[in-house]
Structure 1
């Protein structure tokens, strides 16, 4: 009679401990997926509900029509797309105290028709991941020469968009922003004169506050 085969010996000893950075990265990846799904859902819902704007108006109430109590929905605070995404994902919105923003020109001077470019770097200085709005709804750029406002990102843009950006602790996120090297005004007038050679200052505004400035030249 054949003898039974011996079982494979089980490994003993403590399991290897992964570095803290690995756990942080895994958590950020999972949160990023959740945030992306939430943002898509919010945009779809807003697009569908926006189609009701063309619905026929309800008849005006007469003396024989019982009046309904006024809705209290207007008294409730309206959340932005980023606030809704952060609430659904279970992460806070980045506050000014925990958000460091850097802004600088990629070159000292831009010649010919070269379009000036600027680096915008966001860093979460807190201990936990947070969600920032890196879209034009919160972040704005203007180019000035002395007291003359040459160009502003909100001129000619009717509906600025939000762009939720998930930031891990001490994990910077960098993007490049380009000025089209044209002049603009609030009326979005056509035929504006081209900016002349000289020294200009680009300003980055977060909300209503100037967060940073970058000086450069046009040649």
Structure 2
């Protein structure tokens, strides 16, 4: 009986020791898992804060870039001036009868270093007929749609302009309704409306 009691006590002690060890291990494991969860949560919160801070900094940088950005300016092509082009004028004939017609050839030669624009319409490239100091007829007495030309390098442009030996006034009147000029000597000059210093030499035309 004593032997049995001793054996039972030994077995009980071993079982208790095993339970104690198992319980301690489970407690440590639970504490370890709790600590890991806390670290993970803390790390996630930190990452979230860092990410939010980074996004905020990125938004601020983008706003700064937008504020400092300036629109690019696109340089336009300038109008031709007297230093960009040469104008010349020739006539189909130098002598016409009263009520006759003469056709002029208006030429534009580009000689500048820069490209430029010129209005080659009768309102931009103006032919003027004069008698002494008095203007008799102008090609721009009636408005015309602009006809812009890009002059580049050694470009040359030639246009025909007809004068029916008549006299225009300050108002726009149909050419057929204009009064005819008397016999005499007249001078023709070609010039740019927007650059008056760009003009041709005078050309004489006799009406007889």
TM-score, scaled to structure 1: 0.50
Residue of structure 2 in register with 1:177 after alignment:
161
Give the distance between the partners of 1:93 and 1:149, measured in 2 at CA.
26
* Structure 2 unmatched runs, 5+: 1-74
Report the secondary structure of 2:122's partner residue: coil
* Structure 1 unmatched runs, 5+: 1-85
**Which of 88, 96, 106 matches 1:120?**
106
Give the distance between the partners of 2:173 and 2:162, measured in 1 at CA.
21
Contact 2:165 2:181 in 1 (8 A): yes
**Which of 200, 206, 215 matches 2:204?**
215
Query: Does 2:189 correspond to 1:200?
Result: no
Give the distance between the partners of 2:183 and 2:190, measured in 1 at CA.
22
- Map 1:61-72 onto structure 2 (within 5 A): none
Give the distance between the partners of 1:101 and 1:136, measured in 2 at CA.
14
CA gap 1:180/1:129 in 2 versus in 1, 3 angstroms: same
Give the distance between the partners of 2:179 and 2:78, measured in 1 at CA.
44
Give the distance between the partners of 2:94 and 2:127, measured in 1 at CA.
18
Give the distance between the partners of 1:127 and 1:192, measured in 2 at CA.
42
**Which of 83, 103, 110 matches 2:96?**
110
- Asked which structure has the greater CA Rg, the reply is 2
Structure 1 residues 5-30: Cα deviation after superposition (integer angstroms, max 9, x where no partner): xxxxxxxxxxxxxxxxxxxxxxxxxx
- Map 1:12-51 onto structure 2 (within 5 A): none
Give the distance between the partners of 1:177 and 1:140, measured in 2 at CA.
9
Give the distance between the partners of 1:92 and 1:152, measured in 2 at CA.
25
**Which of 126, 137, 141 matches 2:127?**
141
CA gap 1:188/1:125 in 2 versus in 1, 3 angstroms: closer
Q: Which has the higher helix share?
A: 2
Pairs aligned (count): 129
Residue of structure 2 in register with 1:57 after alignment:
none
Contact 2:87 2:190 in 1 (8 A): no
Report the secondary structure of 1:94's partner residue: coil
CA gap 1:167/1:192 in 2 versus in 1, 3 angstroms: closer
CA gap 1:167/1:199 in 2 versus in 1, 3 angstroms: same
Residue of structure 2 in register with 1:165 after alignment:
149
